[in-house]
A = this chain, B = another copy of it.
Amino acid sequence: MISPFGRAALALDLLPLGVCKWDLAALLESPGELETASQERLDQLLSASAAARGKQLSLADRDTALEKADREIDELTTLGGSLVTTFDGPETYPGRLLECYRPPLFLQILGDASVLLRDSIAIVGSRKPTPEGVRAASDLAGQLAAAGLVVVSGLAYGIDKAAHVGCLDARGQTIAVLGSSIDDIYPSIHGPIARTIVASGGGAVISEFHLHTQPTVYTFPQRNRVISGLSLGVLVVEAAKESGSLLTANFALEQNREVFAIPGSIYAPQHVGTNALIKSGAKLVQSVHDILEELTGYKAAVTPDACQSAALSLHEQSIIGCIQTGCTSVDLLCDRLAWPAPQVLSVLTSLELRGLLVRRGPDSFAIVQSR
């Protein structure tokens, strides 16, 4: 589907206005006004923007942009793509991204455009991950998908690929946000993944760039802002010291998103960035539960770790019963249970190690109330 405001949004973005395009978008009485405004009205609009002071916009510039927009819409239609714009509002443009500072005026989409309206979480990380990083990205993507979340990533080598594939394998939906245009999948070796996403109902491949935009060193950081902007939170799986994934995490913080990171060896360069993120406040993730407990309304579809159930042995039950009735020293417990001291001590230590009992002092205990 092509937004009814697609022509205006594409043309607005093509005008030589730089960041003033957002001012102009806000000043228009309706998006269609751009297509019909007189020179006088264009001048009036520009003069109303402090940032546009000194900029000129002729009717010829405007008409050239509209023609380019028309050709782009034709091409996009041929590709089977969709186009949503900020003018459409949150009914088709993703609502969380819309609330960000200067959201892309349009998004071009291959695949299921409605996936942009579902709750999502981003998984990003190193292009040169460890095998364990690949495993973690894939495992967690599948588990998050099973919990009902869309997985957003950047279709790059390494962690991004593992996240998309892990999500698809779990029959989840995923969004690949490109640093190029949707007619130029980069890296091209990931074309088959992109086609699987699009063909299988597995989500969407999207871009904020016009058709025929080549990826550059600048489009990737810009794209990272969309990855975090779309998502409830960003999980960084592995990231070296100076890494694009850390930029995504910074965008996420600016956008008030949760930032999650997976810890790893202090000797592996792939973990330097993620460990530093945790040190500066990102939530450490040991399992999918650590992510889901921060997001309202989602629960893991995986079976809880068997070790976490606190089934008590008969001996442990006896000790807990005694402590609950006031026997809170080793001496008293030995008397009450008529057990030898080493047995009492052994069971106490076991309960303490399991977090079911705390010691108030060398010889005084209390039960930890279950959560």
List A residues at the B interface (Cβ < 8 Å).
18-19, 101-102, 132, 135-136, 216-218, 221-222, 225, 241-244, 246-247, 250, 262-267, 271-272, 275-276, 278-279, 283-287, 290, 307, 329-331, 342, 345-346, 348-349, 352-355, 358-359, 361-364
Q: Do B349 and A267 have beta carbons less than 8 Å apart?
A: no
Report A199 CB to chain B, min CB distance, Å: 32
Contacts of A307 in B (CB 8 A): 241
A362 to B19, CA, bound (A): 8
Q: Tell which of B247, B250, B287 touches A266, judged by Cβ atoms closer than 8 Å.
A: B287
Bound Cα distance from A242 to B349, whole angstroms: 11
- What's the number of copies of this chain in the assembled complex? 2
Q: Is the CB of A361 within 8 A of B271?
A: no
A278 CB contact (under 8 Å) in B246, B278, B352: B278
Q: Which residue of B lies closest to A346 (CB)?
A: B217
In angstroms, how far is the closest chain B Cβ from the Cβ of A235? 12
- CB of A263 within 8 A of CB of B271, answer yes
Q: Residue A216 contacts which of B216, B279, B345, B358 (CB distance < 8 angstroms)?
A: B345
Contact between B278 and A346, CB atoms less than 8 A apart: no
* Chain B neighbourhood of A18, CB < 8 A: 329-331, 363
Q: In whole angstroms, what is the CA distance A363 to B23 when docked?
A: 14
A265 touches B346 (CB 8 A): no
Which 10 pairs, one residue from A and one from B, show the smallest C-beta to C-beta distance?
Answer: A263-B263, A218-B345, A242-B353, A19-B363, A279-B284, A217-B346, A266-B286, A275-B286, A217-B349, A278-B284
Q: A19-B329, A266-B287 are in contact. Are A217 and B345 (CB under 8 A)?
A: yes
Task: Determine if B102 and A218 form an interchain contact, defined as CB atoms under 8 angstroms apart.
Answer: no
**List of B residues within 8 angstroms of A352 by Cβ:** 221, 247
Q: How far is the CA of A361 from the CA of B222 in the complex (A)?
A: 9
Asked if B346 and A19 make an inter-chain contact with CB atoms under 8 angstroms apart, the answer reads no
A276 near B286 with CB under 8 A, answer yes
Interchain Cβ contacts under 8 Å between A and B, 15 examples: A102-B361, A132-B265, A216-B342, A217-B346, A218-B346, A218-B349, A241-B307, A242-B353, A242-B354, A243-B353, A263-B264, A275-B284, A275-B286, A279-B286, A279-B290
Most buried by B among A243, A352, A362: A362
Docked pose: A217 CA to B352 CA in angstroms? 12
Select A218's contact among B278, B284, B342, beta carbons within 8 Å: B342
Closest B residue by C-beta to A221: B349
User: Known contacts A221-B359, A250-B358; can you find 12 more A-B pairs with CB under 8 A?
Assistant: A18-B329, A19-B361, A19-B362, A135-B267, A216-B342, A216-B345, A218-B345, A218-B346, A221-B349, A242-B354, A247-B353, A279-B290
- Interface contact B275-A102, CB-CB below 8 Å: no
Whether B285 pairs with A266 at a CB distance below 8 angstroms is yes
**Which residues of chain B have C-beta atoms less than 8 A from A287's C-beta?**
266
Which residues on B sit within 8 Å (CB–CB) of A243? Answer: 353
The CA-CA distance from A146 to B55 in the complex, in Å, is 62
Q: Closest CB of chain B to A177's CB: distance in Å?
A: 15
CA A330 – CA B222 in complex, angstroms? 13
Q: Report B-chain residues with C-beta under 8 Å of the C-beta of A266.
A: 136, 262-263, 285-287
